[in-house]
Structure 1
Amino acid sequence: MRTQKISISFFLALAVLWSCQLVAQNPYSRDFNMPLSKPNETGTLKVDLHMGGVTVEGYSGKEVLITMISQPDEDGEEDSDRSKEGLKRIPNSSMDFEIAEENNVVYIKGSHKGRTDFKVKVPRQFSLDLSTHHDGEVKVTDVTGEIEVDAHHGGMELINVGGTVVADTHHGDITVSFSSIKSGVPMAFSTYHGDVDITFPGNTNATMKMKSDKGDIYTDFDLTANRPETRLENTGDNPKKIEISSWIYSNIGNGGPEFMFTTHHGDIILRKK
């Protein structure tokens, strides 16, 4: 019995690692239950996906529950009979992914060959660091903690989240609905092609920094926007307009940490809950 306890302690102290090689023509699904090294402390989920999306849901348990759904890369199958210098192409549909836990941090790394989606359940008090690159939507519900999301080609929807959020994408909308926020901490929401739609608790105190190059700003908060400052610089017969700042600033509540919102092609919508 003593040997078994030492063995379990040693096992929990190490990273729990799965590396799976999959060969399939149809979607492949597998479930994993990942125990935490310190189940009574707040953990962190870190996800890095090359192609695919991630859905994270908070629940009342103390483990991280993971469902992986992989779809082999089918690009080029229609050209499988094409030869290269007389050699026939053999379709390569293998995939690999990694799931690991170390010191209360759970790591998920997706395959570079084919689409891999993940559905994850985490304790409701948990921090998230989520990154997707291609065709990767991000959805989060019922989680409170430090949340960072980077979805390069995909939108994100964060519903009933608490704590702090830093969200960035290039192609996609950003939608966030806060149940609560951590006071005194700055946040940022940025996209290039898409809307930024954020719902805050009515008692939020913050300084809003906003910029929409080709869109509008809407809100039901009681605020007065400070417009950009400009000046004219005379250069011969053609005065040159110099814009000092293209940002719009405004306080909600009593003011406070800076919340930044920016989009190039889209609107900014700030809602009061």
Structure 2
Amino acid sequence: MKTIKFLSVLAIATLITARLLAQEQLVVPLSDPGKPFKLNVGLVDGSITVIGYEGKSIVVEGQLDDRHRDRDKEKDKVSGMHRLNSNGMDISAQENNNQVTVHSSMGKQVNLTIKVPKTTSTFKISTVNGGDITGSNLDGELEVSNVNGSIKLTDISGSVVATTVNGPVIVTFKSIDPKAAMAFSTLNGKIDVTFPASLKANVKLKSDRGDIFTDFDVSTEQQKPNVTRTNKDGMYGLKVDEWVYGKIAGGGPEVMMKTTFGAVYIRKAK
């Protein structure tokens, strides 16, 4: 297993976590270039961008968020003192038999841009606070999760499971895995997915406070709503959970879309 980390000034040992003062680049060679790989990227604070390119290695670029630096400058103005040290960032990458894990230390808001070979592969990408997730020109199986930010994926080939809480989910496919089920969900935001015109799917759709739109021919199915009644300590509750079910082009793997505050768009690529 190779562990690669950003270094600054002095490298005491290869496993030392280094500090970055500005944007830097890290090249992660794959054990078996040209073969499928697995990429796992997880942040607590920051944005993640993953881009497919014509190369054989995974290239990671990291940059401290501008808002973080602005806050530090403001603190210096308030205190009337000047800073002698610079706040760096700690980013590391581990590669083992074409499985690559990239992560950053907690406490700093970091924006990552990662270039990956255009090979059918597996991607697991997540962040929590203060950032969006974007991806383009990717091929394979994508599992993407966010909490306070958007998800936007373009020119995707393969399958996607994407979920966030506060933000929209926007996905555009070049082609899909005809055997893979997919899911797209958010709480606050729209879901807007563009599929190839050849899509065959069983759709399961729900928007509690919005509408559902599509330019596909959807054969809808009548389903009884799921009704839940509760009675606890003299408090009575009634919940009606209603989904829209249908088939596109005779049906296929399930495609689920769910939002609470927003609309759902199922678009046919032109």
TM-score range, shorter chain: 0.7 to 0.9
- Residues 230 and 242 in structure 1, CA contact (< 8 A), matched pair in contact too: no
What is the aligned residue count?
Answer: 244
Describe the shift of the 1:91–1:68 C-alpha distance in structure 2 as closer, same or farther (beyond 3 A). Answer: closer
* 1:37 counterpart SS class: coil
In structure 1, the partner of 2:12 is none
In structure 1, give the amino acid aligned to 2:253: P
- Residues 231 and 241 in structure 1, CA contact (< 8 A), matched pair in contact too: no
The alignment status of 1:104 with 2:98, answered yes or no, reads: yes
Q: Among 61, 64, 70, which residue is 1:67 paired with? A: 61
Deviation, structure 1 residue 111: 2.8
RMSD: 2.6
- Residues 64 and 111 in structure 2, CA contact (< 8 A), matched pair in contact too: yes
For 1:39-69, what per-residue CA distance to the aligned partner results, in whole angstroms no more than 9, with x for missing partners? 1310111111111111111112111111111
In structure 2, the partner of 1:237 is none
Rg: which structure is higher? 1
Deviation, structure 1 residue 79: 5.8
In structure 1, the partner of 2:153 is 158
**Unaligned runs of at least 5 residues, structure 1:** 1-13, 83-89, 234-239
In structure 1, give the amino acid aligned to 2:3: V
Deviation, structure 1 residue 171: 0.6
Q: Among 225, 249, 261, which residue is 2:245 paired with? A: 249
Find the aligned partners of 1:103 and 1:231 in 2 and give their Cα distance.
46
In structure 1, give the amino acid aligned to 2:58: V
In structure 2, the partner of 1:219 is 214
The alignment status of 1:123 with 2:120, answered yes or no, reads: no
Describe the shift of the 1:79–1:219 C-alpha distance in structure 2 as closer, same or farther (beyond 3 A). Answer: same
Report the identity percentage.
32
**Off by >6 Å, runs of 4+ in structure 1:** none
For 1:104-137, what per-residue CA distance to the aligned partner results, in whole angstroms no more than 9, with x for missing partners? 0111112312211111111112321100111121
In structure 1, give the amino acid aligned to 2:37: G
Deviation, structure 1 residue 92: 8.9
In structure 1, the partner of 2:135 is 140
Find the aligned partners of 1:188 and 1:63 in 2 and give their Cα distance.
30
In structure 1, give the amino acid aligned to 2:184: F
Q: Among 1, 4, 17, which residue is 2:4 paired with? A: 17
Describe the shift of the 1:29–1:251 C-alpha distance in structure 2 as closer, same or farther (beyond 3 A). Answer: same
Find the aligned partners of 2:239 and 2:150 in 1 and give their Cα distance.
34
For 1:175-232, what per-residue CA distance to the aligned partner results, in whole angstroms no more than 9, with x for missing partners? 1011111112111000000000000111111100001000000000011333542599
**Unaligned runs of at least 5 residues, structure 2:** 6-15, 229-236
TM-score (norm 2): 0.82
Q: Name the one with the larger strand percent.
A: 1
